[in-house]
Structures are given as structure tokens and as C-alpha cells.
Amino acid sequence: MRPESEEQLAEVVRDTTRPLHIQGGGTRPVGRVVDGDVLNASGLSGISVYEPGALTLVAAAGTPMAEINAALETEHQMLSFEPMDHRALLGTSGTPTLGGVVAGNVSGPRRVSAVGACRDSVLGVRFVDGSGQVVKNGGRVMKNVTGYDLSKLMCGAYGTLGVLSEVALKVLPRPDAEATLTVPGLNEAQAVAAMAAALKSPFEVTGAAYDPAVGVQLRVEGLSASVTYRAGKLQALMAPFGAAGITDDKAASAAIWRAIRDVEGLKDHAVVVRLSIKPSALPELMSSAANLLFDQHSKAAGFDVLADWGGGLVWFGASARQLEICAGVMPDRDGPAGDVGGQILLEYLQSYCEMEGGHATLIKGPESLRRTVHAFQPEAAPVAALTTGLRKRFDPRGILNPGLME
Amino acid sequence: MEMPTPNPAVLSRRGRIVARLREVLPADAVIDDPTETRAYECDGLTAYRCAPLAAVLPASTAEVAAALKICHDEGVPVVPRGSGTSLAGGALPTADSVILGVARLRDVLETDYDNRFIRVQTGRTNLSVTGAVEADGFFYAPDPSSQLACAIAGNIAMNSGGAHCLKYGVTTNNLLGVTMVQMDGTIVEIGGAHMDAGGLDLLGLICGSEGQLGVVTEATLRILPKPEGARPVLMGYDSNEVAGQVVSDIIKAGVLPVAIEFMDRPCIRACEAFAKAGYPDCEALLIVEVEGSPDEIDEQLGLIKQIARRHNPVELREAKDADEAGRIWLGRKSAFGAMGQINDYMCLDGTIPVSELPRVLRRIGEMSKDYGLDVANVFHAGDGNMHPLILFDANKPGDLELCEAMGADILKLCVEVGGCLTGEHGVGIEKRDLMTVQFAPADLEAQMRVKDVFDPDWLLNPAKVFPLAASAGRRAA
């Protein structure tokens, strides 16, 4: 099913008697596996409003991100939340769409700066709820408190409360210049301290990431002289942590942050889990999770971890071998070693978040694993009651991506 | 303004309800003496008043939960109240309601600079959140004009903004977590010190829900490092159209100022008479502020001044030091006080696409003539958040109604050009009956379903936000 207008989309949802698996470009099979008829939203496509002077853009949900980025490029503007492209990490093809990005609240490295989440850029939405009713919320202005903010509710709901048909976004001027500082050779405790120091400074860091193999990377953006000034100040600030190198070539710096954004470093891993945690918790999380890899021979080096958002966004990657070792923790559990290992890793990270705050989501894993785990962090009872209540009201028949967020 | 008829069954049980509240709250936290409940009869929208059945001032989340549970059992409507500064009547009581004030919840619970957050009880004022972290070089970004008095609870309820949200966003962009008590006394924790709350974005839903989904007692707020410095530039123009074009050109040029404020002639004159800030006598005045180190500020202001000059300003003045910066801001910051000195006024806050500024200002000028009421405009131009102040005489019969009718016409115009009824003040009772201008029945139905989930009996702040006719069935059920 591939409706080409909002009316057709509403009709499809209204008339269906079976669960629907909603798809944009199909680049991001995240969450519990949905068994249903594929509803492809890519037929709702096209930018309807773009006002560079008002920093707003309105487009149909199926519009390819590439088309939106190209339009913005001509006016020297950008999406501040620089959404991840999942294709490299997940080994998928297809075209990422606006609706998919918004449904997943996909936010990139700039999340760490003042207003950098996808949800912060969504000004309004139109969607079709589970009864086939078209609903609009928000608008196309930057400040709007007229009624409840269902636009935020839709952002990150993975289509489970409604199928997006149109999204209005706030866009931003593209910075003239950017530079990346790299502080090499830091362990996770040093890295978190270095990133905190940078983010506490007034130098407007717009990216703070950590890769154990590379070190800490910090980004500054803006007018050219200002970037030079702030990179210099940050270099001095980083001195206690090590000698920071500066990449001030714009294209080279942009390539670094594209790779961080797309989590390219974990593309060969079988299972990848994404955590949102308190940044300073990173070292303890890493060392405690490493215990899962303890086998009788030696304590392994730990999982492969990449961190962004100053340590607040953590990507855990597990190789097939690591999953096998993990599976050894619970030898009685049935199933292929890879799946059992994935279950154990995910359950461990989710119980860590339950105790320490935050949440863990399975982003990459075989379909068999995605059928046997809570891909999303289980919720405390009072929150789960609200979630269930909202699902019943917005999708009374339980047909929109049922179970995906469980 | 029509309000629902008080429930006689609740009114008749007043004594029993108060007695039950006294069982779970300290004696001085339950107010039922009519001379004292009058203090809660209105908020910043003083044209409408009604004393509540009683007021309670709990001092902990547990006390809030206990009080709400009793009200829930007794079927008593509850009106949550921060500092009572709402301009939209968000905290207006009904005669059968209990006011739940958060004024005694004022503590800072945790400050964490490494993770850049502060956790506070929500009765704390907006400015005192910044006050708690200022000495260490941090600030809390949303800065509504009422920040000296307004409470974080109210900021969350109305998703408050301020002059600096062009760069830093509004409350919802700076709220990381809440502890909230539902009407039935259930305590929920959402979000926390991590940057993105998990699951459905309940945090985004709660923020701006005008106290209708629950009472937020604690909030985790994002704090930011203070910039090295900030400096404004002032520019005056012969017409609103030209000033509107300047705003658009600055935004397009790629410099993102932290604030762009706009004042028209009536407002400039009133502010000048009141504050003597040395403003030029012209049609439109812009204050543009940028941040950074002294050199960075020079570079940004250089670009902004270039754009300003292209449009032939009648005045272009850059602050050379803190004193001059203070003088530039002085007039703007005293705008509301200045207007209050000359007249009663009604302050609207509809938001429009920035590109529509000239057209909307022209139409407001025409309406002003048609209605015979003066209008002064002062607003956050960078994000299109208008603040037309309609001047009227409260002592003149019919003037308030005339003013409200004109206000409604202005807000309809905002919606017509692609904007909204309220950018940062909230709907409250003031814009409740205009919601149908912006939303179709299905749009309102979807919003009301959310309230059905959080507060099935519609007891929390029940007669706000939604037109009474639209919510009647639910409130009666």
C-alpha cells in the first residue's frame, strides 16, 4: 500500500482490518518486529513551504531527506539536529525520509548544544490516527503554546500513535566555518571529564564525542574568526588532558562528524544498543558491562563503545564472538548463542538504566533477536499505564506498528 | 467570560472536604477563611475573579499527592497555581475548586555542573533558578518578563518563553525531567538527568498542558554556561515594513542573534516617557543582541550593522559598554510597566511567520482605527511572537468588551496568516473560545483524549484551554 495523498492515507488506515507496518524509506528496521501489511508513506512527498527568512520548512512526511537537505543547501541553511543516516550501521538500502526521522526523534551530535534534538525542531505535524482521522497540531511558527503539544508526542512515537503525513520544521543558518579538536589517548573517565570541561565552557561546543581508539573530539562552528578563537581557547582548556590537534578544514571536520553521527565505527557489529544516560555515568557503565565478557580464560577488553553528547549518548556494539561469551553467563537459556548473548546484554543494560536512570534501545540485531526482547526500555508501572492509555485512545484497534516500542 | 456552574454537591460538602484536607496537611497549609481565599481569586488576568472553595499549600510531593487524592475521592476540581502571574487566566478558580499552590515547594534538590542540570522544586521562581547557579558561571535560559515572580511550575504549565529563546528555546527545550502527581494521587517520574527521556515524549506533552494533566512538583532543568559577554545594538526605522525586512535579512544572513526585539512608535514613546532610555522618535525600533567574546561580538555586530545600513536607519547605536547596553534594554524591559502607567491594557501574544510581520502590523493599525482603541506593539521579532498591547479604560462601560473583541480579531488574523493564538502565555480562559479558529473539531478531540488518559474525571483545571461546549460532555461525565 502506497498512498499518494493524505486523503488516501486516511482511507487506507480507516479501511484496513489488519495491523499495518508503517515504512518511510525502509532504512531503519528498529524495535520489535511488526507483522503487518506494509504501509509505505514515501508517496506523500514534496516540500510545500520553505521560507528561509522565517527559518521554516514544511514538507510531506515521505519527502526524502536528501531533497530537504538539497533545498536547504541552496539557501545556506541546515537542519540543526543533523539526523543520523542509519544505512551504514544497519546495512540497509533505500532513502531516509522526513517522516521516518521525526517518528524516531533521530538527533545527531548537535543535540548536546542548546536546542539540538529533532523534537526541538518540529514546529507542527499532520497525522492520521488509528481510526483514520486526520489531525493537525502545532503550526509553522517558532513559539506556539496553543493547546497540547501533540507534535512532540508524535516525534519519537515510531508511528504507533499516528501515521505522519506532514511535518513543519525550524531550520537554521549553516555555519560559515567549523573545526574539530581531537584529544587523543584518554580512558573513559578522563574522556568524560574532558568533555564536561569543554561543555561547561562558554565556547559553544556543538559536538562532544568519544571513541576509545581516537580520543575525545570537540566541534566548534560559526563565523570563521570566531571558530579560530574558540578552538584556540578550547585547546588551552584541554591542556590538562593532553595535546589537542585541530582540524580546521571545513570538509575534513564535517566528515569526522558525519562518521560520528552515523556510528560508522560499529557497522560490523552484530548487535548494537543505544543508551541515553547521565554523561558522568559512562565509565561505570562501561566497566560494569565488561563483566559480562568475563570467561574462564581472561577478562576481555569490554564491548566496543562509542559515545556522543558529552557521554550522554552511548552506543554499545557486540561482535558475534562477544555475544557467544555473553551467552555463557546463562548456559540454561535456549536459543542460538548470538540471540541469547544479545538478550543478556540488552537486559543488563536496561536493568542498569532502570536503576541509574536513562534508557537502552536495541538498534541493530537479527530479526530473531528482535522478536524475543524488549527492544525499548521497559517502563515503570505508572508511566506504562499512561503509555497504554495513550495508545488505546490514539490507536483503539491496535493496528499502527503494534508492539514496535515494546 | 463564561465559567461552568459550580457543582452544588461539592459546595454543600465544603466543611467535610476542608476537614479531610486538614487531616493530611499542616493546619496552616489549608486556607478556607473567605478573607484569605480572596488572595487566590485571580491571577495576572485581573478582569476575572472568583474565590475558590479553599486553597492548600503543600510542602512536599507526598503532601501534594495526599491532597489530590482527597479531592479526587470527593470529586472536587483542583486548580494548580504557581505564582499566579498568568496573563491568560490559567489559574482562575471556580467557586467549587480547591487551589493547589506550590509556593512552599522552593528547594534546590541537586546541582550538577558536570552534567549541566539542576533539580528544583517547582514553586521556586524562574530567576532564582539562575540565581542558584550564577556564581558558578551558569544560567537557566528561559526568561519570561515575569521571571522575578513566576514559578517554574507555571513555566512548565504554560511552556514559557522569553526574549532569548531565539537561540536557547523555550521551557520545553530546557526541561529534562519531572516528578508529577496525577489527579488520583499517583506519582510519576519522567525523564531525568539524561538528555532524552525514553518512550513516548510524555515530557513534551506535559510541558504546556496548562496544569491539566498533573501537578509537577519537581523539575530537572538544563543549565547552560554563561556566554563570555553580550552586547545589543539599537536601530530605528521610518516604517514597520522596513524594520520587518531587516529582521528577515538578519536571520537569512546566517548570524543568529540571541534576541531581536521590536517596538513600534506608540510603544517607543511610552517607554521613553517612562524610562528615558534615549530612544529615537521613529516608527519602529529594533534591539538586536549577540553573544560571545568581545571580538566575536564585534564580528557579528559588524554584519548586522551592514544589513541595518542597507535599509537606511534613522538611528543606529551600538552599546560601547555595559552601561550603554543597560540603557538600550532599559526601555524595552520597562515596556509593560510604562504602558500600565498610561492605561489599562490587554496584552496578546499571537505568533506569526516572521515574513508576515509588515502585513500584520499594517492590519493591526487599521483595526486600531476601526475600533477606536490605541495599540502599542512590542515583541520578540526574531521568532514572530507578537505582543500587541491594546489600551482601554477599565472604568468606561463597554471598553473591556470592545478591547476583547479587537483582541480576538487580531488573534484570528495571526491564525489566518499561518500563525497561532498564543506563543508563550497559554490559552487559559482568555483564548479558550478562540481555539476553534485554529483547530478543527478532530484536532481538539485528539488533544482532549490526552486529558482523558491523565485525568479521566476532568477535575484538574477543568474549564481552561478547550471551549466549554467542546469539553462539556467530558466534564459532566
A163-181 residue pLDDT tens: 999 999 999 999 999 999 9
Rounded to 5°, angle at Cα B180 from B178 and B186: 145
Residue whose C-alpha is closest to residue A29's, from A346, A268, A363, A261: A363
User: What does the pLDDT read at residue A380?
Assistant: 96
Helices and strands (H, E) in chain B, number of each type: 18, 18
How many whole angstroms separate alpha carbon B345 and alpha carbon B388? 10
Nearest residue on chain B to A199, alpha-carbon basis: B225
Residue A297 has pLDDT above 60, yes or no: no
Nearest by CB to residue B354, choosing from A54, A129, A155, is A54
Domains of chain A, start order = 6-173 (3.30.465.10), 177-261 (3.30.70.1710), 264-370 (3.30.70)
Confidence of residue A108 (pLDDT cuts 50, 70, 90): very high
Paired with A210 in beta bridges are: A216, A307
CA distances (Å), B119 to each of A280, B152, B193, in order?
A: 16, 11, 9
- Concatenating the DSSP letter of every residue in A30-91 gives -SSPP-SEEEEGGGS--EEEEEGGGTEEEEETT-BHHHHHHHHHHTTEE-TT----THHHHT
Window 171-190 of B, Cβ < 8 Å to A = 172-173, 182, 186-190
Task: Give the H or E element holding residue A252.
Answer: helix A250-261
Whether A277 has its CB under 8 Å from any CB of chain B: the answer is yes
Residue A300 has pLDDT above 70, yes or no: no
Pairing of β A215-222 and β A177-183? antiparallel
How many whole angstroms separate alpha carbon A324 and alpha carbon A258? 31
At residue B193, what are phi and psi to the nearest 5 degrees? -80, -15
- Burial class of residue A298 in the structure, from the number of CB atoms within 10 Å of its CB (0-12 exposed, 13-18 middle, 19+ buried): exposed
Angle between helices B294-310 and A224-238 (to 10 degrees): 170
How many whole angstroms separate alpha carbon B173 and alpha carbon B155? 12
How many whole angstroms separate alpha carbon B207 and alpha carbon B156? 5
How many whole angstroms separate alpha carbon B244 and alpha carbon B9? 55
Residue whose C-alpha is closest to residue B449's, from B182, B213, B177, B208: B213
> Is A217 in contact with A180 (CB distance < 8 Å)?
yes
User: What does the pLDDT read at residue B335?
Assistant: 82
How many whole angstroms separate alpha carbon A193 and alpha carbon A206? 17
Question: pLDDT tens across B356-380, in order?
Answer: 888 899 999 999 999 999 999 988 8
Interface with B, mutate which of A32, A142, A393 (most B CBs under 10 A): A142
CA distances (Å), B114 to each of A274, B136, B193, B249, in order?
A: 22, 12, 11, 38
Buried b (16+ CB within 10 A) or exposed e, A368-396: ebbebbbbbbbbeeebeebbebbbebbbe
Give the count of beta carbons closer than 10 Å to the beta carbon of residue B111: 15
Window 51-70 of B, Cβ < 8 Å to A = none
* Contact list, A405 vs chain B (CB under 8 Å): 199-200
User: What does the pLDDT read at residue A106?
Assistant: 97
Interface with B, mutate which of A51, A141, A314 (most B CBs under 10 A): A141
CA distances (Å), A228 to each of A44, A179, B98, in order?
A: 43, 8, 58
Residues in chain B: 477
Whether B43 has its CB under 8 Å from any CB of chain A: the answer is no
Lookup: cell for B275: 524610562
Nearest residue on chain B to A136, alpha-carbon basis: B443
**Among A198-212, A287-301, A378-392, B221-235, which stretch is predicted with the lowest mean pLDDT?**
A287-301
Lookup: cell for B36: 484569605
Lookup: cell for A82: 543533523
Nearest by CB to residue B252, choosing from A52, A112, A225, is A52
Positive or negative torsion for Cα A272, A273, A278, A281: negative
Whether B302 has its CB under 8 Å from any CB of chain A: the answer is no
Question: pLDDT tens across B239-257, in order?
Answer: 988 998 899 889 888 888 9
* Contact list, A119 vs chain B (CB under 8 Å): 201, 204
At residue A283, what are phi and psi to the nearest 5 degrees? -60, -45
Question: pLDDT tens across B414-433, in order?
Answer: 999 999 999 999 999 999 99
Residue whose C-alpha is closest to residue A369's, from A387, A353, A345: A345
Domains of chain B, start order = 8-103 (3.30.43.10), 108-225 (3.30.465.10), 230-336 (3.30.70.2190), 343-416 (3.30.70.2740)
Confidence of residue A296 (pLDDT cuts 50, 70, 90): low
User: What percent of chain B has pLDDT above 70?
Assistant: 100
Residue B407 has pLDDT above 90, yes or no: yes
Nearest residue on chain A to B207, alpha-carbon basis: A149
How many whole angstroms separate alpha carbon A198 and alpha carbon A190? 12
**Residue listed under C-alpha cell 461539592:** B10
How many whole angstroms separate alpha carbon B80 and alpha carbon B103? 11
CB contact under 8 A, B189 and A129: no
CA Rg, chain B, in Å?
A: 23
Angle between helices B322-333 and B265-275 (to 10 degrees): 120
Helices and strands (H, E) in chain A, number of each type: 14, 17
Residue A127 has pLDDT above 90, yes or no: yes
User: What does the pLDDT read at residue B336?
Assistant: 79
Question: How confident is the model over A298-326, as a mean pLDDT?
Answer: 89
How many whole angstroms separate alpha carbon A339 and alpha carbon A25? 27
Residue whose C-alpha is closest to residue A188's, from A168, A207, A214: A214
Rounded to 5°, angle at Cα A266 from A262 and A269: 135
What mean pLDDT is reported for chain B?
94
Confidence of residue B342 (pLDDT cuts 50, 70, 90): confident
Paired with A200 in beta bridges are: none
Task: Give the H or E element holding residue B62.
Answer: helix B61-74
Question: pLDDT tens across B286-298, in order?
Answer: 999 999 999 999 9
Strand order of the sheet with strand B230-237? B315-318, B230-237, B284-291, B259-264, B375-380, B388-392, B344-347
Residues 6 or more apart from A386 whose CB is under 8 A from it? Answer: B188, B202, B453, B454
Window 375-434 of B, Cβ < 8 Å to A = 380, 383-385, 418-427, 431
What mean pLDDT is reported for chain A?
95
**Residue listed under C-alpha cell 524516531:** A104
Rounded to 5°, angle at Cα A124 from A120 and A125: 120
> Is B385 in contact with B351 (CB distance < 8 Å)?
yes
Confidence of residue A333 (pLDDT cuts 50, 70, 90): very high
Nearest by CB to residue A225, choosing from B169, B299, B438, is B299
Give the count of beta carbons closer than 10 Å to the beta carbon of residue A280: 19
Residue A292 has pLDDT above 90, yes or no: no
How many whole angstroms separate alpha carbon A47 and alpha carbon A97? 12
Listed in order, strand segments (DSSP E) in B27-155 are 30-31, 54-56, 78-81, 98-101, 108-112, 117-121, 138-139
Strand order of the sheet with strand A215-222? A245-247, A177-183, A215-222, A205-211, A304-308, A313-318, A271-276, A359-364
Nearest by CB to residue A382, choosing from B188, B198, B418, is B188
User: What does the pLDDT read at residue B154?
Assistant: 97
Question: How confident is the model over A254-273, as a mean pLDDT?
Answer: 97
How many whole angstroms separate alpha carbon B332 and alpha carbon B261? 8
Window 236-265 of A, Cβ < 8 Å to B = none
| Percentage helix, strand, coil for chain B under 3-state DSSP, each rounded to 5 | 40, 20, 40
Is residue B32 classed as helix, strand or coil in its secondary structure?
coil
Paired with A163 in beta bridges are: A128
User: What does the pLDDT read at residue B273?
Assistant: 87
Confidence of residue A385 (pLDDT cuts 50, 70, 90): very high
Residues 6 or more apart from B270 whose CB is under 8 A from it? Answer: B335, B338, B339, B341, B342, B376
* Contact list, A55 vs chain B (CB under 8 Å): 251, 354
Residue A299 has pLDDT above 80, yes or no: no
* Contact list, B451 vs chain A (CB under 8 Å): 148
- Concatenating the DSSP letter of every residue in A187-240 gives -HHHHHHHHHHHHHSSS-EEEEEEETTTEEEEEEEESHHHHHHHHHHHHHHHGG
CA distances (Å), A346 to each of A158, A188, A202, B52, in order?
A: 20, 21, 37, 51
How many whole angstroms separate alpha carbon B168 and alpha carbon B383? 12
Question: How confident is the model over A288-305, as a mean pLDDT?
Answer: 74
Question: How confident is the model over A14-23, as a mean pLDDT?
Answer: 96
CA Rg, chain A, in Å?
A: 22
Q: What is the ipTM of this complex?
A: 0.96
Please give the model's pTM, rounded to 2 decimal places: 0.96
Question: How confident is the model over B372-396, as a mean pLDDT?
Answer: 91
